Structure 1
Amino acid sequence: MSEQPSAEPGAEVLAAFEAAKGFMPVGEGLALYAAAAEAGKLGLPLLEVGTYCGRSTILLADAARRAGTVAVTVDHHRGSEEQQPGWEYHDPTVVDPEVGVMDTLPTFRRTLRKAGLEEHVIAVVGRSPQAAKVWGGELGLVFVDGGHTDEHATNDYEGWAPKVAPGGLLVIHDVFPDPADGGQAPYRIYLRALESGDFEEVSVTDSLRVLRRLPA
Protein backbone atom coordinates (compact mmCIF):
# COMPACT_ATOMS: atom_id res chain seq x y z
CA MET A 1 0.00 0.00 0.00
CA SER A 2 1.52 3.31 -1.07
CA GLU A 3 1.25 6.55 0.82
CA GLN A 4 0.55 10.00 -0.53
CA PRO A 5 3.89 10.96 -2.12
CA SER A 6 5.84 13.74 -0.47
CA ALA A 7 8.63 15.80 -2.04
CA GLU A 8 10.45 16.00 1.30
CA PRO A 9 11.64 13.31 3.72
CA GLY A 10 10.29 13.18 7.24
CA ALA A 11 12.41 14.34 10.15
CA GLU A 12 13.48 10.82 11.14
CA VAL A 13 14.58 9.92 7.62
CA LEU A 14 16.47 13.19 7.23
CA ALA A 15 18.20 12.60 10.58
CA ALA A 16 19.19 9.07 9.51
CA PHE A 17 20.58 10.47 6.24
CA GLU A 18 22.62 13.11 8.05
CA ALA A 19 23.98 10.54 10.52
CA ALA A 20 25.02 8.05 7.82
CA LYS A 21 28.58 7.80 6.55
CA GLY A 22 28.91 9.36 3.10
CA PHE A 23 29.56 12.48 1.09
CA MET A 24 26.27 13.86 -0.24
CA PRO A 25 25.36 17.30 1.19
CA VAL A 26 21.89 17.82 2.60
CA GLY A 27 20.79 20.19 -0.18
CA GLU A 28 21.61 17.67 -2.88
CA GLY A 29 20.01 14.93 -0.80
CA LEU A 30 16.75 16.86 -0.64
CA ALA A 31 16.84 17.32 -4.42
CA LEU A 32 17.44 13.60 -4.87
CA TYR A 33 14.53 12.80 -2.58
CA ALA A 34 12.22 15.12 -4.52
CA ALA A 35 13.23 13.42 -7.76
CA ALA A 36 12.69 9.97 -6.25
CA ALA A 37 9.27 10.98 -4.94
CA GLU A 38 8.27 12.18 -8.39
CA ALA A 39 9.66 9.14 -10.17
CA GLY A 40 8.00 6.84 -7.66
CA LYS A 41 4.62 7.82 -9.09
CA LEU A 42 5.44 5.63 -12.09
CA GLY A 43 5.32 2.59 -9.81
CA LEU A 44 8.66 1.31 -11.07
CA PRO A 45 11.85 0.53 -9.11
CA LEU A 46 14.24 3.34 -8.21
CA LEU A 47 17.87 2.36 -8.83
CA GLU A 48 21.18 3.85 -7.78
CA VAL A 49 24.67 2.97 -8.96
CA GLY A 50 27.16 3.53 -6.15
CA THR A 51 25.93 2.56 -2.70
CA TYR A 52 29.00 3.15 -0.54
CA CYS A 53 27.60 3.08 3.03
CA GLY A 54 23.97 3.81 2.18
CA ARG A 55 23.62 7.53 2.84
CA SER A 56 21.69 8.26 -0.35
CA THR A 57 20.04 4.82 -0.27
CA ILE A 58 18.08 5.95 2.79
CA LEU A 59 16.40 8.65 0.73
CA LEU A 60 15.60 6.40 -2.23
CA ALA A 61 14.32 3.67 0.08
CA ASP A 62 11.94 5.98 1.91
CA ALA A 63 10.65 7.47 -1.34
CA ALA A 64 10.17 3.94 -2.69
CA ARG A 65 8.38 2.90 0.49
CA ARG A 66 5.96 5.79 0.20
CA ALA A 67 5.30 5.01 -3.46
CA GLY A 68 4.78 1.29 -2.89
CA THR A 69 7.81 0.27 -4.94
CA VAL A 70 11.40 -0.68 -4.12
CA ALA A 71 14.87 0.86 -4.23
CA VAL A 72 17.66 -1.12 -5.90
CA THR A 73 21.26 -0.25 -5.16
CA VAL A 74 24.25 -1.59 -7.10
CA ASP A 75 27.82 -1.63 -5.77
CA HIS A 76 30.72 -4.07 -5.46
CA HIS A 77 31.42 -2.51 -2.03
CA ARG A 78 35.20 -2.51 -2.54
CA GLY A 79 35.35 1.27 -2.92
CA SER A 80 35.97 3.46 -5.94
CA GLU A 81 39.36 4.79 -6.99
CA GLU A 82 39.42 7.84 -4.73
CA GLN A 83 38.50 5.72 -1.69
CA GLN A 84 41.51 3.41 -1.82
CA PRO A 85 44.44 3.71 0.65
CA GLY A 86 46.49 6.82 0.09
CA TRP A 87 43.67 8.73 -1.60
CA GLU A 88 41.62 11.67 -0.36
CA TYR A 89 38.42 9.84 0.49
CA HIS A 90 39.91 6.72 2.06
CA ASP A 91 38.28 5.65 5.34
CA PRO A 92 40.24 2.96 7.21
CA THR A 93 37.19 2.09 9.34
CA VAL A 94 35.59 0.36 6.33
CA VAL A 95 38.58 -1.85 5.56
CA ASP A 96 38.08 -5.57 6.21
CA PRO A 97 40.98 -6.41 8.56
CA GLU A 98 40.98 -10.07 7.57
CA VAL A 99 41.55 -9.54 3.85
CA GLY A 100 42.96 -6.00 3.94
CA VAL A 101 40.63 -4.45 1.37
CA MET A 102 37.64 -2.15 1.60
CA ASP A 103 34.26 -3.65 2.36
CA THR A 104 31.45 -1.14 2.87
CA LEU A 105 28.71 -3.78 2.80
CA PRO A 106 28.51 -4.33 6.59
CA THR A 107 28.31 -0.58 7.23
CA PHE A 108 25.67 -0.23 4.53
CA ARG A 109 23.54 -2.95 6.12
CA ARG A 110 23.80 -1.30 9.52
CA THR A 111 22.82 2.03 7.98
CA LEU A 112 19.61 0.60 6.54
CA ARG A 113 18.78 -1.28 9.72
CA LYS A 114 19.17 1.83 11.86
CA ALA A 115 16.90 3.72 9.46
CA GLY A 116 14.28 0.94 9.52
CA LEU A 117 14.33 0.61 5.73
CA GLU A 118 15.89 -2.80 5.07
CA GLU A 119 12.74 -4.33 3.61
CA HIS A 120 12.41 -1.59 1.00
CA VAL A 121 15.84 -2.15 -0.59
CA ILE A 122 17.28 -4.77 -2.90
CA ALA A 123 21.06 -4.65 -2.62
CA VAL A 124 22.91 -5.94 -5.68
CA VAL A 125 26.52 -6.72 -4.75
CA GLY A 126 28.50 -6.72 -7.97
CA ARG A 127 29.82 -4.69 -10.86
CA SER A 128 27.48 -2.20 -12.47
CA PRO A 129 27.99 -3.32 -16.11
CA GLN A 130 27.29 -6.95 -15.21
CA ALA A 131 24.15 -6.04 -13.29
CA ALA A 132 22.91 -3.81 -16.12
CA LYS A 133 23.27 -6.64 -18.63
CA VAL A 134 20.91 -8.91 -16.69
CA TRP A 135 18.37 -6.23 -15.69
CA GLY A 136 15.42 -6.63 -18.03
CA GLY A 137 12.78 -4.17 -16.84
CA GLU A 138 12.22 -0.43 -16.94
CA LEU A 139 13.14 1.87 -14.07
CA GLY A 140 11.41 4.95 -12.73
CA LEU A 141 14.71 6.53 -11.70
CA VAL A 142 18.40 5.86 -12.22
CA PHE A 143 20.83 7.69 -9.93
CA VAL A 144 24.41 7.53 -11.22
CA ASP A 145 26.95 8.02 -8.42
CA GLY A 146 29.51 5.29 -8.97
CA GLY A 147 33.12 5.42 -10.08
CA HIS A 148 34.20 8.77 -11.47
CA THR A 149 36.65 7.68 -14.14
CA ASP A 150 35.51 8.01 -17.74
CA GLU A 151 35.42 4.23 -18.04
CA HIS A 152 33.15 3.71 -15.06
CA ALA A 153 30.88 6.71 -15.66
CA THR A 154 30.46 5.74 -19.32
CA ASN A 155 29.68 2.13 -18.40
CA ASP A 156 27.09 3.27 -15.87
CA TYR A 157 25.46 5.62 -18.36
CA GLU A 158 25.43 3.14 -21.24
CA GLY A 159 24.25 0.31 -19.03
CA TRP A 160 21.46 2.02 -17.12
CA ALA A 161 20.23 5.17 -18.91
CA PRO A 162 18.46 3.14 -21.63
CA LYS A 163 16.42 1.43 -18.90
CA VAL A 164 14.83 4.68 -17.65
CA ALA A 165 11.14 4.57 -18.58
CA PRO A 166 9.56 7.41 -20.58
CA GLY A 167 8.77 10.12 -18.05
CA GLY A 168 11.30 8.62 -15.65
CA LEU A 169 14.33 10.42 -14.28
CA LEU A 170 18.08 10.13 -14.76
CA VAL A 171 19.97 11.74 -11.87
CA ILE A 172 23.72 12.32 -12.11
CA HIS A 173 25.85 13.33 -9.13
CA ASP A 174 29.14 15.24 -9.02
CA VAL A 175 28.59 17.15 -12.26
CA PHE A 176 31.23 19.89 -12.37
CA PRO A 177 31.35 22.05 -15.52
CA ASP A 178 34.52 23.71 -14.18
CA PRO A 179 37.44 21.23 -13.96
CA ALA A 180 38.75 23.18 -10.98
CA ASP A 181 35.76 21.97 -8.95
CA GLY A 182 36.06 18.26 -9.61
CA GLY A 183 36.45 15.40 -12.08
CA GLN A 184 34.86 15.68 -15.49
CA ALA A 185 33.56 12.17 -16.18
CA PRO A 186 30.08 12.75 -14.66
CA TYR A 187 29.87 16.08 -16.51
CA ARG A 188 30.65 14.34 -19.79
CA ILE A 189 27.89 11.76 -19.40
CA TYR A 190 25.50 14.55 -18.38
CA LEU A 191 26.30 16.35 -21.66
CA ARG A 192 25.96 13.10 -23.55
CA ALA A 193 22.49 12.54 -22.10
CA LEU A 194 21.35 16.00 -23.16
CA GLU A 195 22.91 15.70 -26.61
CA SER A 196 21.21 12.35 -27.17
CA GLY A 197 17.83 14.06 -27.43
CA ASP A 198 16.38 11.42 -25.11
CA PHE A 199 16.50 13.58 -21.98
CA GLU A 200 15.62 17.10 -20.90
CA GLU A 201 16.97 18.85 -17.82
CA VAL A 202 14.54 19.19 -14.93
CA SER A 203 16.62 20.70 -12.14
CA VAL A 204 20.12 21.67 -11.01
CA THR A 205 21.12 21.60 -7.34
CA ASP A 206 24.82 22.24 -6.86
CA SER A 207 26.48 19.19 -8.49
CA LEU A 208 23.23 17.18 -8.80
CA ARG A 209 21.50 17.12 -12.21
CA VAL A 210 18.01 15.72 -12.76
CA LEU A 211 16.98 14.80 -16.31
CA ARG A 212 13.66 13.42 -17.57
CA ARG A 213 13.37 10.86 -20.35
CA LEU A 214 11.24 12.21 -23.17
CA PRO A 215 8.50 10.15 -24.82
CA ALA A 216 9.71 8.04 -27.73
Structure 2
Amino acid sequence: MDIAKIKEITRDTDGWLSDREGELLYELAQNCKGRGVIVEIGSWKGKSTIWLAKGSEKGAKSKIYAIDPHTGSPEHGKKVWTYDEFRANIKKAGVEKMVIPIVKNSLEAVSEFEEPVELLFIDGAHEYEAVKSDLKAWFPKVIDGGIIAFHDSAGWGRWPGVEKAVVEHVYKSDKFRNVKFVQSITFGQKVSENNFTERLKNRYTLLLKIIADFGDGLHLPVPVRRIGKKILLLLK
Protein backbone atom coordinates (compact mmCIF):
# COMPACT_ATOMS: atom_id res chain seq x y z
CA MET A 1 0.00 0.00 0.00
CA ASP A 2 1.40 3.41 -0.94
CA ILE A 3 1.67 6.44 1.33
CA ALA A 4 -1.18 8.29 -0.38
CA LYS A 5 -3.55 5.43 0.46
CA ILE A 6 -2.50 5.42 4.13
CA LYS A 7 -3.08 9.18 4.30
CA GLU A 8 -6.56 8.58 2.95
CA ILE A 9 -7.24 5.84 5.52
CA THR A 10 -6.03 7.93 8.47
CA ARG A 11 -7.55 11.24 7.37
CA ASP A 12 -10.76 10.64 9.31
CA THR A 13 -9.06 8.97 12.27
CA ASP A 14 -9.08 11.24 15.31
CA GLY A 15 -5.61 12.20 16.52
CA TRP A 16 -2.86 14.83 16.58
CA LEU A 17 -0.40 13.25 14.15
CA SER A 18 0.47 15.08 10.93
CA ASP A 19 0.93 13.24 7.64
CA ARG A 20 4.68 13.94 7.71
CA GLU A 21 4.94 12.53 11.23
CA GLY A 22 2.94 9.52 10.10
CA GLU A 23 5.35 9.00 7.22
CA LEU A 24 8.26 9.12 9.68
CA LEU A 25 6.67 6.42 11.87
CA TYR A 26 6.05 4.37 8.72
CA GLU A 27 9.74 4.67 7.75
CA LEU A 28 11.00 3.83 11.24
CA ALA A 29 8.76 0.75 11.41
CA GLN A 30 9.68 -0.34 7.88
CA ASN A 31 13.38 -0.08 8.76
CA CYS A 32 13.09 -2.49 11.69
CA LYS A 33 15.02 -5.71 11.07
CA GLY A 34 12.91 -8.09 13.13
CA ARG A 35 15.30 -8.04 16.10
CA GLY A 36 12.46 -7.00 18.38
CA VAL A 37 8.88 -5.81 18.44
CA ILE A 38 7.45 -2.30 18.09
CA VAL A 39 5.90 -0.69 21.17
CA GLU A 40 3.66 2.35 21.16
CA ILE A 41 2.89 4.09 24.45
CA GLY A 42 -0.29 6.08 23.92
CA SER A 43 -2.46 4.92 21.03
CA TRP A 44 -5.57 7.11 21.49
CA LYS A 45 -7.80 6.04 18.57
CA GLY A 46 -5.16 4.34 16.45
CA LYS A 47 -3.90 6.94 14.00
CA SER A 48 -0.21 6.46 14.80
CA THR A 49 -0.78 2.74 15.30
CA ILE A 50 -1.97 2.41 11.71
CA TRP A 51 1.11 4.19 10.35
CA LEU A 52 3.40 1.95 12.40
CA ALA A 53 1.58 -1.22 11.37
CA LYS A 54 1.58 -0.32 7.67
CA GLY A 55 5.31 0.41 7.82
CA SER A 56 6.01 -2.85 9.60
CA GLU A 57 3.99 -4.75 6.99
CA LYS A 58 6.39 -3.41 4.36
CA GLY A 59 9.39 -4.41 6.46
CA ALA A 60 10.07 -7.26 8.86
CA LYS A 61 6.40 -7.56 9.89
CA SER A 62 7.20 -6.98 13.56
CA LYS A 63 4.15 -6.90 15.80
CA ILE A 64 2.92 -3.58 17.19
CA TYR A 65 2.13 -3.58 20.92
CA ALA A 66 -0.26 -0.66 21.37
CA ILE A 67 -0.32 0.32 25.04
CA ASP A 68 -3.06 2.62 26.28
CA PRO A 69 -5.60 2.46 29.13
CA HIS A 70 -8.02 4.14 26.70
CA THR A 71 -9.36 6.40 29.43
CA GLY A 72 -7.65 9.56 28.21
CA SER A 73 -4.88 11.37 30.08
CA PRO A 74 -4.67 14.22 32.61
CA GLU A 75 -4.47 16.83 29.85
CA HIS A 76 -7.94 15.79 28.64
CA GLY A 77 -9.46 16.83 31.96
CA LYS A 78 -11.94 13.98 32.20
CA LYS A 79 -12.05 10.24 31.65
CA VAL A 80 -13.10 8.95 28.26
CA TRP A 81 -13.30 5.49 26.67
CA THR A 82 -11.54 5.14 23.33
CA TYR A 83 -10.89 1.42 23.03
CA ASP A 84 -13.94 0.56 20.92
CA GLU A 85 -13.14 3.28 18.40
CA PHE A 86 -9.47 2.24 18.42
CA ARG A 87 -10.39 -1.35 17.53
CA ALA A 88 -12.80 -0.20 14.84
CA ASN A 89 -10.15 2.01 13.22
CA ILE A 90 -7.52 -0.74 13.33
CA LYS A 91 -9.95 -3.18 11.73
CA LYS A 92 -10.99 -0.69 9.05
CA ALA A 93 -7.32 -0.12 8.16
CA GLY A 94 -6.77 -3.87 7.79
CA VAL A 95 -3.99 -4.12 10.39
CA GLU A 96 -5.80 -6.10 13.12
CA LYS A 97 -3.38 -9.02 12.81
CA MET A 98 -0.37 -6.72 13.17
CA VAL A 99 -1.53 -4.99 16.36
CA ILE A 100 -1.66 -6.37 19.90
CA PRO A 101 -3.56 -3.94 22.15
CA ILE A 102 -2.60 -3.76 25.84
CA VAL A 103 -5.29 -1.90 27.78
CA LYS A 104 -3.10 -0.70 30.65
CA ASN A 105 -0.91 2.28 31.38
CA SER A 106 2.72 1.93 30.37
CA LEU A 107 4.09 1.33 33.87
CA GLU A 108 1.60 -1.48 34.48
CA ALA A 109 2.39 -3.02 31.10
CA VAL A 110 6.17 -2.92 31.38
CA SER A 111 6.27 -5.13 34.48
CA GLU A 112 4.81 -8.03 32.48
CA PHE A 113 6.49 -7.32 29.14
CA GLU A 114 9.23 -9.75 28.09
CA GLU A 115 9.76 -9.09 24.37
CA PRO A 116 12.85 -7.20 23.16
CA VAL A 117 11.86 -3.86 21.62
CA GLU A 118 13.37 -2.54 18.39
CA LEU A 119 11.24 0.61 18.08
CA LEU A 120 9.62 2.46 20.98
CA PHE A 121 7.25 5.37 20.32
CA ILE A 122 6.38 7.38 23.44
CA ASP A 123 3.21 9.45 23.23
CA GLY A 124 1.57 8.94 26.61
CA ALA A 125 0.94 11.48 29.35
CA HIS A 126 2.78 14.72 28.55
CA GLU A 127 3.90 15.87 32.00
CA TYR A 128 7.68 15.88 32.56
CA GLU A 129 7.65 13.20 35.28
CA ALA A 130 5.37 10.95 33.23
CA VAL A 131 7.59 11.13 30.14
CA LYS A 132 10.70 10.55 32.24
CA SER A 133 9.06 7.56 33.95
CA ASP A 134 8.02 6.03 30.62
CA LEU A 135 11.55 6.36 29.26
CA LYS A 136 13.19 5.02 32.43
CA ALA A 137 10.83 2.02 32.64
CA TRP A 138 11.03 1.00 28.98
CA PHE A 139 14.63 1.91 28.15
CA PRO A 140 16.03 -1.47 29.37
CA LYS A 141 13.59 -3.30 27.06
CA VAL A 142 14.97 -1.58 23.95
CA ILE A 143 17.79 -3.40 22.16
CA ASP A 144 21.13 -1.68 21.49
CA GLY A 145 20.71 -0.04 18.12
CA GLY A 146 16.95 0.26 18.61
CA ILE A 147 15.09 3.52 18.06
CA ILE A 148 13.19 5.55 20.66
CA ALA A 149 10.88 8.33 19.44
CA PHE A 150 8.87 10.98 21.28
CA HIS A 151 5.81 12.81 19.99
CA ASP A 152 5.10 16.46 20.89
CA SER A 153 8.73 17.18 21.78
CA ALA A 154 9.69 19.77 19.14
CA GLY A 155 8.32 22.42 16.82
CA TRP A 156 4.85 23.90 16.89
CA GLY A 157 3.38 20.83 18.60
CA ARG A 158 5.80 20.64 21.52
CA TRP A 159 4.64 20.30 25.12
CA PRO A 160 6.95 21.78 27.77
CA GLY A 161 7.12 18.61 29.87
CA VAL A 162 7.91 16.38 26.90
CA GLU A 163 10.46 18.81 25.51
CA LYS A 164 12.25 19.12 28.87
CA ALA A 165 12.44 15.34 29.32
CA VAL A 166 13.80 14.84 25.80
CA VAL A 167 16.40 17.61 26.08
CA GLU A 168 17.66 16.30 29.43
CA HIS A 169 17.47 12.55 28.83
CA VAL A 170 18.01 12.20 25.07
CA TYR A 171 19.96 15.13 23.61
CA LYS A 172 22.21 15.42 26.67
CA SER A 173 22.43 11.69 27.37
CA ASP A 174 25.38 9.40 26.69
CA LYS A 175 22.94 6.62 25.70
CA PHE A 176 21.74 8.06 22.36
CA ARG A 177 23.26 8.83 19.00
CA ASN A 178 21.92 10.19 15.70
CA VAL A 179 19.23 12.21 17.46
CA LYS A 180 16.98 13.96 14.93
CA PHE A 181 13.60 15.64 14.78
CA VAL A 182 10.79 15.79 12.24
CA GLN A 183 8.11 18.33 13.06
CA SER A 184 7.12 17.47 16.66
CA ILE A 185 8.77 14.02 16.80
CA THR A 186 12.29 13.59 18.21
CA PHE A 187 13.99 10.22 17.73
CA GLY A 188 17.38 8.66 18.35
CA GLN A 189 19.25 5.37 18.43
CA LYS A 190 19.99 3.67 21.74
CA VAL A 191 23.64 2.81 22.42
CA SER A 192 25.53 1.50 25.44
CA GLU A 193 27.61 4.70 25.37
CA ASN A 194 27.99 7.32 22.68
CA ASN A 195 31.36 8.82 21.79
CA PHE A 196 32.46 12.44 21.83
CA THR A 197 31.66 13.03 18.16
CA GLU A 198 28.17 11.55 18.56
CA ARG A 199 27.53 13.70 21.64
CA LEU A 200 28.66 16.76 19.70
CA LYS A 201 26.29 15.91 16.84
CA ASN A 202 23.40 15.53 19.28
CA ARG A 203 24.13 18.97 20.78
CA TYR A 204 24.34 20.42 17.27
CA THR A 205 20.93 18.96 16.42
CA LEU A 206 19.59 20.43 19.67
CA LEU A 207 20.83 23.83 18.53
CA LEU A 208 19.04 23.37 15.21
CA LYS A 209 15.88 22.46 17.09
CA ILE A 210 16.09 25.58 19.25
CA ILE A 211 16.52 27.73 16.14
CA ALA A 212 13.59 26.02 14.41
CA ASP A 213 11.38 26.37 17.50
CA PHE A 214 12.30 30.05 17.78
CA GLY A 215 11.26 30.60 14.17
CA ASP A 216 7.93 28.88 14.79
CA GLY A 217 7.33 31.08 17.83
CA LEU A 218 7.89 34.27 15.86
CA HIS A 219 4.99 33.45 13.51
CA LEU A 220 7.11 34.39 10.54
CA PRO A 221 5.52 34.56 7.08
CA VAL A 222 5.16 31.16 5.40
CA PRO A 223 7.75 31.88 2.64
CA VAL A 224 10.34 32.91 5.26
CA ARG A 225 9.67 29.76 7.32
CA ARG A 226 10.04 27.60 4.21
CA ILE A 227 13.41 29.16 3.39
CA GLY A 228 14.54 28.66 6.99
CA LYS A 229 13.51 25.00 6.97
CA LYS A 230 15.39 24.42 3.70
CA ILE A 231 18.51 25.93 5.27
CA LEU A 232 18.14 23.67 8.33
CA LEU A 233 17.81 20.61 6.09
CA LEU A 234 21.01 21.57 4.27
CA LEU A 235 22.83 21.98 7.59
CA LYS A 236 21.78 18.58 8.97
Q: TM-score, normalised by structure 1?
A: 0.81
Partner deviation per Cα, 1:126-147 (whole Å, 9 max, x = no partner): 1110111221232010000000
Task: Give the equivalent residue in structure 1 for 2:166.
Answer: 190
Task: Give the equivalent residue in structure 1 for 2:176.
Answer: 199
Q: Distance in 1 between matches of 2:166 and 2:3?
A: 30
Please give the residue correspondences for 1:72-87 in structure 2 after superposition, counting only pairs within 5 Å. Answer: 72-85=65-78
Q: TM-score, normalised by structure 2?
A: 0.74
Q: Does residue 70 of structure 1 match 2:63?
A: yes
Q: Distance in 1 between matches of 2:14 and 2:158?
A: 21
User: SS at 2:111's partner residue?
Assistant: helix
Q: Does residue 19 of structure 1 match 2:30?
A: no
Matched-pair contact (CA < 8 Å) for 2:153–2:186: yes
Q: Distance in 1 between matches of 2:2 and 2:166?
A: 26
Q: Distance in 1 between matches of 2:180 and 2:26?
A: 13
User: SS at 1:167's partner residue?
Assistant: strand
Task: Give the equivalent residue in structure 1 for 2:188.
Answer: 211
Matched-pair contact (CA < 8 Å) for 2:28–2:55: no
Shift of 1:54: 0.3
- Equivalences, count: 191
User: SS at 1:152's partner residue?
Assistant: helix
Q: Which structure 1 residue ranges, 5 or more long, are not aligned?
A: 1-7, 86-100
Matched-pair contact (CA < 8 Å) for 1:43–1:68: no
| Higher RCO, 1 vs 2 (CA within 8 Å, ≥6 residues apart) | 1
Q: Distance in 1 between matches of 2:179 and 2:29?
A: 13
Q: Distance in 2 between matches of 1:151 and 1:68?
A: 33
Q: Distance in 2 between matches of 1:161 and 1:75?
A: 18
Partner deviation per Cα, 1:175-211 (whole Å, 9 max, x = no partner): 147xx96422211221212333111134311111110
Q: Which protein shows a greater Rg? A: 2
Partner deviation per Cα, 1:69-117 (whole Å, 9 max, x = no partner): 21111000000122234xxxxxxxxxxxxxxx41000010010011011
Q: Does residue 147 of structure 1 match 2:125?
A: yes
Matched-pair contact (CA < 8 Å) for 1:174–1:208: yes
Q: Distance in 2 between matches of 1:46 and 1:72?
A: 6
Shift of 1:167: 1.3
User: SS at 1:134's partner residue?
Assistant: coil
Further displaced range: 41-50 or 106-115: 41-50
Shift of 1:65: 2.3
Q: Which has the higher helix share?
A: 2
Q: Does residue 173 of structure 1 match 2:151?
A: yes
Matched-pair contact (CA < 8 Å) for 2:53–2:98: yes
Please give the residue correspondences for 1:94-113 in structure 2 after superposition, counting only pairs within 5 Å. Answer: 101-113=79-91
